[in-house]
């Protein structure tokens, strides 16, 4: 699993960079938790909460996620995941107002925020 912006598709990378700048200028600290995922990594996440212990964190099987995209055989994710940080610790509580702020910043940068999805909200997920 990559956290590198170099593993992003050329269409989303400038949006991710703008998102990063806007978060910083608005006092929102965060880290990228995932850019590109291999098919194997995607299948492992999909199994979580189904055939393996844990909470369900994705509804996408390998090849169905925008994290699994390649361009000429090179990782080129059309999505990234983040987590806001506060005092050096991740804020995973979806009820925390920082998620709304981070979502609005992403949308203002031209990204689709999965925190608005109706069926399965994924607050950390942004895509094109």
| CATH number of the CATH domain containing 62 | 3.30.1380.10
- pLDDT at 77 (0 to 100): 97
Q: With contact defined as beta carbons under 8 Å apart, do 115 and 82 qualify?
A: no
Domain count, the chain: 1
Read off the pLDDT band of 1 (50, 70, 90): confident
Instruction: Tell me how far apart the alpha carbons of residues 67 and 27 are, in angstroms, rounded to a whole number.
Output: 27
Q: Looking at the predicted structure, is the pLDDT value of residue 101 above 90?
A: yes
CA atoms within 13 A on the CB side of 77: 29
Can you give the pTM of this predicted structure?
0.94
Which residue segment(s) compose the domain that 50 sits in? 5-127
């Amino acid at each position: 699993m990559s956290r590198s912006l170099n593993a992003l598709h050329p269409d989303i990378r400038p949006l991710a960079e703008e998102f990063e700048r806007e978060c910083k200028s608005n006092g929102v600290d965060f880290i990228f938790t995932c850019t590109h995922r291999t098919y194997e990594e995607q299948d492992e996440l999909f199994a979580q909460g189904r055939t393996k212990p844990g909470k369900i964190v994705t509804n996408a099987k390998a090849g169905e996620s925008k994290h699994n995209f390649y361009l000429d055989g090179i990782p080129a994710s059309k999505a990234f995941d983040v987590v806001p940080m506060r005092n050096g610790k991740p804020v995973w509580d979806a009820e925390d107002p920082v998620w709304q702020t981070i979502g609005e910043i992403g949308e203002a940068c031209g990204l689709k925020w999965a925190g608005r999805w109706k069926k399965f909200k994924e607050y950390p997920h942004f895509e094109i």
